């Protein structure tokens, strides 16, 4: 007798369709996991650039830099606050002179009278900061200078750092670490033999009062005219990697040689271009204005220790000290052997790509790249129109959606942050700004909020605008940003040029695939953009803090435009697609 069709099959029997459904669902989840792994992997590779080398111990070879050996000097220098005019300042000066004499040098003290001024430092020094002193009052600064003769001097190489601290902190990082690194660098150089060029050591005084020691050196010291290149070292925190954040004008030759010499180079021309637009100064500002070429280095994580009692040797990250010292020693040895008579060449665009591997090319190439990208964009539009996958009306819609996306993220995040700032106690808000252990959780939360806004908005808009039109519309925004940075911020043009090159290629590949198969093309082509933006966003978070949460998350939203297809709905087979 036949079984009733309404009766369910026995438990040990499985419908043939269910296996297909399970397999389909498993494949879909595997695809999602694979795409997520690709994007997170690109982000991780980008963030791995932002790291300092492992610190060497006291048993490191005598001709190498050792953070452990430098720490022995730093523990003496940064015992206590030593601002200009204090007894502790006199003690530190005497200790440094003794250390240089022990190294076989003949240090001198340059005394000069100057006036305290209120300045804005790159370390965000505020007018009410007591380290500025009373403006207009005279003060005597005492620079420490020493010279190591070279075998065949062209022009001298000068290493500079300041040895005074603020009244409120011992100055272990700012800038005792650089002074200790200078002593260890000299010891290592003497262990390996002399350089060709003379090596000048300048420990400036009165930096915290307004770059007074650097000004005195350039104004009065006869050695200033002998300098062919300055390596200046600073700090704005007490941990994190040290990176090259400023150069003198026409830096082409300097950047190429820096990339050859530094063991763990970390530098971005975008940061240098931004820094030039800001009213911030270090001792290198004085040297540059005096006509000296130079490179400026600093580490900047750990703002909670900056200019406070927390800036002690015990709280200093040894890896940061190692990075400063590695720069100082490797660059001194490299530039100390080169002709420094003429070091100026066309500015270059430069950035880290994979870890400590850097890419660099002349700034004049930026215009050529932009023209190439505009042509590729035009070809991409033609290709999509030819295959009936794009429309000009749809591209305009995609462009407007991208602008709406940016505005929505900026508005929601700025409003949410305003509420947060008004809701939490002031000390806790400051800890969010300065303590990475706290601020990172809020950063992750904000990034998840950006993803939520992107998912909801693009999922909804894809009902009315086709995926390819959303994608090309977003890339039109990138083309405009690429052109703008090429003209006005050439050092940052690489951030838009290279992601565009890959994303436009990925969009063209998607045209030959069936509709809905663009997911992998979008993810793969977005990886270079995520890799390049990840370290810049992190550095902006560290240096600008989440007080700029709205602007930072708008940049994160811009990166999300590269993966719009991942958020779009896919029309079902045979479903009426009424999108433009």
Instruction: Give 278-326 pLDDT, tens digit per residue.
Output: 778 999 999 999 999 999 999 999 999 999 999 999 999 999 999 999 9
Show Cβ contacts of residue 174 under 8 Å, excluding neighbours closer than 6 positions: 123, 165, 166, 234, 235, 236, 306, 307, 311
Task: Quote the mean pLDDT of the chain.
Answer: 91
Higher pLDDT, 34 or 507: 507
Give the model's pLDDT for residue 169: 96
Helix then strand then coil, in percent of the chain rounded to 5, is 55, 15, 30
Average pLDDT over residues 239-253: 96
Mean pLDDT confidence for 527-545: 95
CA distances from 493 to 59, 83, 145, 375, 487 (A): 44, 42, 40, 17, 9
d(CA 376, CA 480): 14
Tokens of 488: 């006005």
| pLDDT of 431 above 90 | yes
- pLDDT, one tens digit per residue, over 208-229 is 999 999 999 999 999 999 999 9
pLDDT greater than 90 at residue 10: no
Alpha helices in 424-461 (DSSP H): 426-434, 436-461
> Is the model's pLDDT at 507 over the cut of 60?
yes
3-state secondary structure of 255: helix
Q: Which of 100-104, 129-133, 370-374, 473-477 has the lowest mean pLDDT?
A: 129-133
Rounded Cα gap, residues 409 and 550, in angstroms: 8
Of the pLDDT bands very low, low, confident and very high (cuts 50, 70, 90), residue 117 is low
For residue 407, whether the previous peptide bond is cis, meaning omega lies within 30 degrees of 0, is no
Among 183-187, 237-241, 287-291, 354-358, name the one with the lowest average pLDDT: 354-358
Asked whether residue 503 carries a pLDDT value surpassing 50, the answer given is: yes
Q: pLDDT-derived band of residue 19, with 50, 70 and 90 as boundaries?
A: low
* Each residue's pLDDT tens digit, 452-490: 999 999 999 999 999 999 999 999 999 999 999 999 999
- Give yes or no for residue 1 having a pLDDT over 80: no
Tokens of 342: 């003429």
Beta bridge partners of 145: 108, 202
What's the pLDDT score for residue 275? 86
Fold of 67-362: Aminopeptidase (3.40.630)
- pLDDT score at 274: 85
Q: What is the pLDDT of residue 126?
A: 34
Query: CA–CA separation, 468 vs 392, rounded Å?
Result: 11
Angle between helix axes 494-511 and 519-544 (nearest 10 degrees) is 160
Residue 32 has pLDDT above 90, yes or no: no
Q: Flag whether pLDDT at 568 surpasses 80.
A: yes
Q: Which residues contact 7 (CB under 8 A, 6 or more apart)?
A: none
Residue 152 has pLDDT above 90, yes or no: yes
pLDDT at residue 271 is higher than 70: yes
What whole-number distance in Å separates Cα of residue 146 and Cα of residue 154?
Answer: 18
Dihedral (Cα; 182, 543, 450, 561), 10-degree rounding: -70
What pLDDT is attached to residue 25?
A: 65
Q: Are strands 199-204 and 156-162 parallel, antiparallel or unpaired?
A: parallel
Tokens of 176: 């005792």
C-beta of residue 295 within 8 angstroms of C-beta of residue 230: yes
Average pLDDT over residues 416-443: 94
Tokens of 264: 């763990």
Of residues 117 and 449, more confidence is placed in 449
Contact status, residue 168 vs residue 145, Cβ threshold 8 Å: no
pLDDT (0 to 100) of residue 571: 62
User: CA 441, CA 438: separation in Å to the nearest integer?
Assistant: 6
Q: Is the pLDDT of residue 135 over 70?
A: no
Average of pLDDT values for 75-101?
97
pLDDT digits (tens, 9 = 90+) for 341-381: 999 999 999 999 988 899 999 999 999 999 999 999 999 99
Cα dihedral: 461, 466, 467, 470 (round 10): -70
Q: Look up tokens 């929505």; give the residue.
A: 408
Between the CA atoms of 266, 271, 273 and 274, what dihedral angle is there, to the nearest 10 degrees?
A: -170
Domain boundaries, the chain: 67-362, 365-566
Residue 401 is predicted with a pLDDT of 97
pLDDT of 132: 47
Distance, CA of 574 to CA of 481 (rounded, Å): 38
Separation between Cα atoms, residue 504 and residue 70, nearest integer Å: 50
Res 127: pLDDT: 33
The predicted model gives 433-453 an average pLDDT of 95
Query: What is this structure's pTM?
Result: 0.90
| Band of residue 513 on the pLDDT scale cut at 50, 70, 90 | confident
Rounded Cα–Cα distance for residues 408 and 421 (Å): 20
Residue 333: what pLDDT?
98
Q: CB within 8 A of 4, min separation 6: which ones?
A: none
Question: What is the DSSP-derived secondary structure letter of residue 82?
Answer: -
* Of 369, 339, 383, nearest in space to 495 by CA: 369
Pairing of strands 138-148, 357-362: unpaired
């Amino acid at each position: 007798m036949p079984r009733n069709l309404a009766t369910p099959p026995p438990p040990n029997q499985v419908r043939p369709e269910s296996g297909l459904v399970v397999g389909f669902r498993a494949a879909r989840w595997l695809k999602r996991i694979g795409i997520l792994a690709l994007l997170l992997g690109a982000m991780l590779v980008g963030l791995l650039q932002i790291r300092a080398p492992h610190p060497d111990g006291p048993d490191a070879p005598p001709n190498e830099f050792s953070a452990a050996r430098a720490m022995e000097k730093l523990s003496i220098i940064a015992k206590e606050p030593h601002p200009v005019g204090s007894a502790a300042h006199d003690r530190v000066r005497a200790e440094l002179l003794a250390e240089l004499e022990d190294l076989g040098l003949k240090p001198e003290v340059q005394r000069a009278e100057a006036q305290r001024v209120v300045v804005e430092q790159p370390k965000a020094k505020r007018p009410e900061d007591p380290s500025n002193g009373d403006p207009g009052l005279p003060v005597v600064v005492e620079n420490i200078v020493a010279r190591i003769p070279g075998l065949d001097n062209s022009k001298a190489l000068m290493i500079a750092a300041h040895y005074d601290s603020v009244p409120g902190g011992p100055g272990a990082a700012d800038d005792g670490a650089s002074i200790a690194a200078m002593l260890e660098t000299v010891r290592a150089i003497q262990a390996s033999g002399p350089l060709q060029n003379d090596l000048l050591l300048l420990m400036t005084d009165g930096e915290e009062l307004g770059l007074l020691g650097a000004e005195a050196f350039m104004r009065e010291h006869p050695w200033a005219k002998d300098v062919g290149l300055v390596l200046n070292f600073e700090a704005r925190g007490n941990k994190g990697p040290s990176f090259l954040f400023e150069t003198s004008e026409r830096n082409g030759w300097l950047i190429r040689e820096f990339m050859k010499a530094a063991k763990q180079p970390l530098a971005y021309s975008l940061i240098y271009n931004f820094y030039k637009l800001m009213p911030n100064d270090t001792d290198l500002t004085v040297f540059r204005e005096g006509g000296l070429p130079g490179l400026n280095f600093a580490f900047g994580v750990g703002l909670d220790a900056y200019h406070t009692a927390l800036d002690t040797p015990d709280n200093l990250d040894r890896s940061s000290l190692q990075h400063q010292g590695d720069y100082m020693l490797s660059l001194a040895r490299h530039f100390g052997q080169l002709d420094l008579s003429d070091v100026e060449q066309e500015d270059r665009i430069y950035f880290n790509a994979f870890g400590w591997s850097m890419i660099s090319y002349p700034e004049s190439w930026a215009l050529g790249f932009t023209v190439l990208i505009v042509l590729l964009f035009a070809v991409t539009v033609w290709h999509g129109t030819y295959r009936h996958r794009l429309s000009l009306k749809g591209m305009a819609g995609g462009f407007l959606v991208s602008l709406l996306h940016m505005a929505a993220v900026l508005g929601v995040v700025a409003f949410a942050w305003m509420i947060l700032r008004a809701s939490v106690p002031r000390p806790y808000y400051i800890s969010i700004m300065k303590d990475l252990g706290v601020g990172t959780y809020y950063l992750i939360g904000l990034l998840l909020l950006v993803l939520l806004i992107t998912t909801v908005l693009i999922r909804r808009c894809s009902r009315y605008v086709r995926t390819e039109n959303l994608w090309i519309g977003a890339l039109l925004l990138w083309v405009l940003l690429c052109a703008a940075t090429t003209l006005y911020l050439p050092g940052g043009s690489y951030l838009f040029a290279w992601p565009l090159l890959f994303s436009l290629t990925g969009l063209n590949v998607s045209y030959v695939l069936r509709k809905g198969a663009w997911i992998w093309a979008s993810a793969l082509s977005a990886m270079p953009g995520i890799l390049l933006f990840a370290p810049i966003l992190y550095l902006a978070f560290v240096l600008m803090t989440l007080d700029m949460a709205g602007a930072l998350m708008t940049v994160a939203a811009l990166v999300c435009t590269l993966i719009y297809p991942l958020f779009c709905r896919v029309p079902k087979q045979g479903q009426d697609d009424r999108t433009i």
